[in-house]
Every structure is written in structure tokens, then in C-alpha cells.
Structure 1
């Protein structure tokens, strides 16, 4: 696969990050032949550890097509981190934008320039109890349908065993293996030409995440739940449970109150 120009900052970041990654984790990397050699494209990647962006970037770096991650615009503004983010070509997301598509304008421009844009469609670490991909945001689908670029589903597993989601301390020994598998491009052609309504974006996003989940099923050798974990649905259910418990306690208090008064007389 031909290498594109990577640049000083990305090579500098690789010099800093690759040695500790090589020491901490073994590698089981598959599907690099599915990474396009030319042209702009998107990778949609699951997210289950604070370590996995670095480990996945290592995988992608070794394909010769370095990833441009989306990150909060505030990280680009000052200091060494800002210089590194700008120098490595990471993509600022302007969350204050009221236009959902313009918030991803820089990502669209990067794809149209022939870059690889890496999306974590879930938007945060998965909250699925067993580490499966959960429901996702529609940003990757928006950019994909706008540009009609290839969308490569990528699954990873293993960094979550080194540093589980929301854990503070890593589990270094025994040495963990970082599994990555990139699949063939997701077929989104049936959505081309349609108005990008909320329903269309939701369906396209579900197709993308189903492809990511299939790659993870192959890595793990087991089936994912039929219905992805939905944090919003879980919050609603939690509120309902809390309200039900509160109502039960209130009912008991009203019931026991008169009984206590009768006993006292």
C-alpha cells in the first residue's frame, strides 16, 4: 500500500507513542487490505477504553493512511497540545454551531482532500455492560452521505482489558492483546440522493454500526445482543424506576400513617 505524506508532527507523535504501546500490548491486526490506498474515506470505530485511540492510531498509521480524528475545537487553541493537534491535522468540531452539518464541515473538507477521517460514532466510551458497541450519533453518516466516500467499519478489542472503561488504574499484567479488524466498505448507496432527514440519518447510522459490530463479533467469537445498548433509553428507564420507587415509598407512608395514629390512640 503506497504511503502518503505523513508530516513532522505525526511522525513525532509516533516516536512518542509507539514505544510504550509496543511494550504494553501485543497486536492482532487484520483487514489492512480494506483500508483504501487512495482517496478520502471514513473509518467508523468502536470505543471501549481511553487507551484505544492511541492503539488504533498506531494500527492506522501502519497502513500508511493516517487518521484525522474529530476533537473539541477548544483543544486546538493554545499550547503544545494545540500545536500538536493542528500539526497532525486533527479536525476541530465546533459544538456551538446550530447547523448540524456545518459542525462537520472540516471533516467533509478533509474527505474531499483525500484524507482519512476517523469517527467514534458512539461519541463516548461504550456503556454496554459487556463492551459491545452502543447506539451512535449521526455525524459519520452525515459526512458519508454528503461526500459519498467509502465508510470502513473497524472493530477493536483488548485495550479495554488493559484499561477498562472509566477505570483509573491499568491492568498491565499479563500483557494484553490489541485486536483490530477492518471490514469492507459499508454499502450506503440506497441512501444516496435522499433528503438527510433524522430518519434517514438514523437508519444509515444503524447500518454503519451493524457493520462495526459484525467485525467485533468475529474478533470475540460470539454474538452481540440483538438490540444495541441505548444510553438514552436506559436513562428514561432509570427515571421511571426512580419515580416508581418514590411513588411506592409515598404510598407506604400514607398507608402506614393512619395505622400508626390508630395504634397510638
Structure 2
């Protein structure tokens, strides 16, 4: 396990509350295998990009980054900002609301860019939702992280993770805490996007940057799993799978 770093940022009341609840809960209910955490920048704006396997991910990633000296700002679905009590916590903790699949999603991009420019650590799950890949591998990514990175020039830090889905399987509400499962995190070197910087953000440029980001994450996940990743990343748009929401629920027809 990598050495932890002391947090330099001011936590605020919301982070104080969250840390006091989430950290001891995770320490008691999970084991941790953290590799190369020192590659997360200690200070300055950055974008951490991570594969998504469980609804537990924001808590385990938040714990991982907190113990390496950073508070993470997530792009979180806007419904959380309308939920009683929780809305006050996510706002004070500096989380960024995103209205997925709407024209208002651009405001989340603007807020994320400003957060990175202020020197904050912004966390993005490039897949946009829990992976639909039948075997849990990283699937096709969306362009949000690439857009933020190319707009700011900040480092894009890839992180692979595995094991949270054994603690809390996707789209279930009952965690498996006995015996304790291990959550694995491994940090890679920043994704090289230097040759794309300053270029017009065409679909081709964004697709190339996104592919590099997903490839870097996938290499880390393959290393944690000890097996090769599929040659082609899963694309839900070609299979009729739901883009967001529980994939086991049938799509609603148009009214």
C-alpha cells in the first residue's frame, strides 16, 4: 500500500461530516490494496479519470484520494442536488451538478474547467455510468474528461480500480461486508495529450483524446485483474443497452 499524504486543503463542514462517517465505515468493512498513489499530484489542478463498477465507487475513490492529500470534486448527477439533506452536503463539498443527456450538461463542463483552473482535483468517470460490459471491463468513454483536459492543459491522471463491485454489486442495495472484500486502486502516469493541445476540438480530436484516456485506464484495470482486456471496448449504443440507469429495467416507450 502506498504511503498516505497529509491533506493541505480546507475541508469545510460537509467534508468533515462525510469523512467522519465514510472513512471508518470503509476501514471496518473493506480491505484496501492501493498502488502508486503518490502519482496523484499533491497540489494543483488535475483531472482524475477512473473506471466505474459500483455505486460504492465515489466513496472508495474519495477515501483513496483523501488519504493521498486531495479532496475530489465529482461531476455528480443533478438529482443529488435536489435531495433533502444530501443537497446541502454535496453543495458545501464543492461537487458539480450535471444534467445528463440534456443541453444543460454544458454548465457542468464550464464548472469543472473553472474548478481545475482554481487548482482543484476533479474526478470523472469517463464512461458516464457503471460499465455495461458483461465482464466489468471499462467500456466506451464519453468526451467530457478530454474536453476539460484540453481546455485547461491540466494533467489527466488515470486510475484503475477493481473490487468495489464485490462489496456492492451494481444496481443492488445490499452490501457484502463479510468476509471483507478488497478494493484495489492503481494510479498510472498522466495521459499524454500534448500533441492535441491547442487544436480545434473536432469530433476526431476528442475521440482520440478519449480513446487514450480509456486505454490508460484499461491497462491499469487489466493489471489489477491479472488478465488481458478485450481487444475492443464494449459500446452500449451498438447493443441496445440503456445508456444510463439500471440496465436490467426495460426502456420506457415514448409518450
Q: Shorter-chain TM-score: what band?
A: 0.7 to 0.9
| Structural RMSD (CA) | 1.8
Structure 1 residue 230 corresponds to structure 2 residue 247:
no
CA contact (8 A) 1:101 1:142 kept: no
TM-aligned CA deviation for residue 67 of structure 1 = 0.5
Q: 1:159 aligns with which of 154, 164, 172?
A: 164
Deviation at 1:114, TM superposition (A): 0.2
Q: Which residue of 2 aligns with 1:42?
A: 47
Task: String of CA shifts for 1:56-115, please: whole Å, max 9, x gaps.
Answer: 111011111110011123422463111101111111224476376544100001000000
Partner of 1:210: 215
Number of the residue aligned with 2:201: 196
Bigger drift between 94-103 and 62-71 goes to 94-103
Structure 2: gaps of 5 or more residues: 242-255
CA distance in 1, matches of 2:208, 2:185: 25
State the number of aligned residues: 236
Q: 1:17 to 1:73 in 2, by over 3 A?
A: same
Could you tell me how far apart the structure 2 residues matched to 1:4 and 1:49 are?
Answer: 27
1:115 matches 2:125: no
Larger Rg: 1
- In the alignment, the residues of structure 2 paired with residue 159 and residue 193 of structure 1 have an alpha-carbon distance, to the nearest angstrom, of 37
SS of aligned partner of 2:185: strand
Residues 111-147 of structure 1 deviation map (CA, whole Å, 9 limit, x = unaligned): 0000000001111111111111000111000100000
Partner of 1:61: 66
**Residues 203, 100 of structure 1: CA spacing in aligned structure 2 closer, same or farther, 3 A cutoff?**
farther
Task: Give, in whole Å, the separation in 2 of the partners of 1:100 and 1:17.
Answer: 28
Residue of structure 1 in register with 2:146 after alignment: 141
TM-score scaled to structure 1, two decimals? 0.84
**Match of 2:98?**
93
Q: Which has the higher helix share?
A: 1
Q: In structure 2, which of residues 74, 81, 88 is the aligned counterpart of residue 83 of structure 1?
A: 88
Note closer, same or farther for the CA distance 1:96–1:164 as it changes in structure 2 (3 Å cut): closer
